[in-house]
Structure 1
Amino acid sequence: MTRDAAVSIDKILHRNRSILLELTGKTKKPIKINRLQLDKKKFNFKYHTHTQVNSKGKTYHYIYDFWWMSFSDDEILIARR
């Protein structure tokens, strides 16, 4: 990976984090939002820092100190660690 590509990915990750922070505020409680809200803000679902699969097989996508997961086709569950 080139330095320019790494910088681009880092910008996407920071933008995604900013979007999650804007939607959740300072709360650490999980919130459900409509996927369209993230789409309208140009959230990039392809980029995250890491993933984790829970005992029920649900995948948590992490972006630094936030995580999100698809709750249904239309809803996303978001929380902050």
Structure 2
Amino acid sequence: MKCKICSNRIVGRKDKIFCSVRCKNYYHVNLRKATAMVVKELDIILHRNRSILLEIMGKKKTQCKVARVVLEKKKFRFKYHTHQNINSKGKTYHYLYDFAWMEFSNDEILIVKQPLVLKKK
């Protein structure tokens, strides 16, 4: 068997994939770096989308309808959300953390703010 990083011969257990702790650490550090770069870009988009919804809703409202054009002008990116749910009427709610939005019609978007519930440890 050869090391996944340096191609040196591996001595020891049959299921080992690295020849040393150094190669193992190198692999995992670089794997985390690559993941962090992608996640950072997505987090920026998600947080920007949430900020746009918060700006439109304000802090007091729990829901409102807004023209799709308003979101488009603010550069809201519709395909980015944290999760989604389909209600009993077949409408899809797209969530951004504590906000949800749904296409109410072709021109209107319904925005709903969910109360943020944090679990205690």
* TM-score, reference length from structure 2: 0.64
Which residue in 1 is equivalent to 2:51?
Answer: 18
What CA distance in whole angstroms lies between the structure 1 residues aligned with 2:48 and 2:62? 21
Alignment size in residue pairs: 81
Please identify runs of 4+ aligned residues in structure 1 that moved more than 6 A. none
CA RMSD of aligned residues (A): 1.1
Q: Which has the higher contact order (CA 8 A, sep 6+)?
A: 1
Which residue in 2 is equivalent to 1:63?
Answer: 96
Instruction: Choose 1 or 2 for highest CA Rg.
Output: 2
**Superposed displacement of residue 27, structure 1:** 2.7
Which residue in 1 is equivalent to 2:109?
Answer: 76
Unaligned runs of 5+ in 1: none
Unaligned runs of 5+ in 2: 1-33, 115-121
**Superposed displacement of residue 30, structure 1:** 1.4
